[in-house]
């Protein structure tokens, strides 16, 4: 990983920590967020996984809540000039 990649990853982590802080208050059962990225194709390859405590928490999420979460993630990433090319395939809901 180059210095530029490390800096970019640090920016992503910082933004996702901010998203975490928001989700702790708005999503029941929220645990944490992780990400994976290939910096050569950042916008296309950035995958974000949102972990909830159990299946019940995932199934209880309404479509509105899921869409609101995606919009929030996109907004925080846009602040650091990252635009997901296909958010519905790059943001995943998981059980811890």
Q: For residue 28, how many other CB atoms are within 10 A of its CB? A: 11
Q: Which residue has the tokens 């159990």?
A: 54
Q: Positive or negative, the Cα torsion across 74, 78, 84, 85? A: positive
User: Biggest alpha carbon distance in the chain?
Assistant: 41
Write out the two tokens for 70. 């995606």
Tens digits of residue pLDDT in 47-86:
999 999 999 999 999 999 999 999 999 999 999 999 999 9
Whole-number pLDDT of residue 86 = 97
Distances from the Cα of 79 to the Cαs of 44, 55, 73, 74, in angstroms?
17, 32, 10, 9
Q: Which domains does the chain have, with CATH numbers?
A: 3-95 (3.30.300.20)
């Amino acid at each position: 990983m180059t210095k530029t990649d490390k800096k970019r990853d640090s920016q992503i982590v910082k933004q996702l920590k901010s998203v975490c802080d928001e989700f702790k208050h708005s999503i029941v059962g929220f645990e944490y967020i992780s990400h994976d990225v290939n910096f050569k194709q950042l916008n296309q390859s950035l995958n974000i996984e949102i972990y909830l405590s159990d299946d019940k928490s995932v199934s209880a999420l309404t479509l509105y809540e899921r869409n609101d979460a995606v919009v929030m993630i996109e907004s925080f990433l846009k602040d650091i000039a990252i635009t997901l090319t296909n958010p519905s395939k790059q943001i995943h809901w998981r059980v811890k």
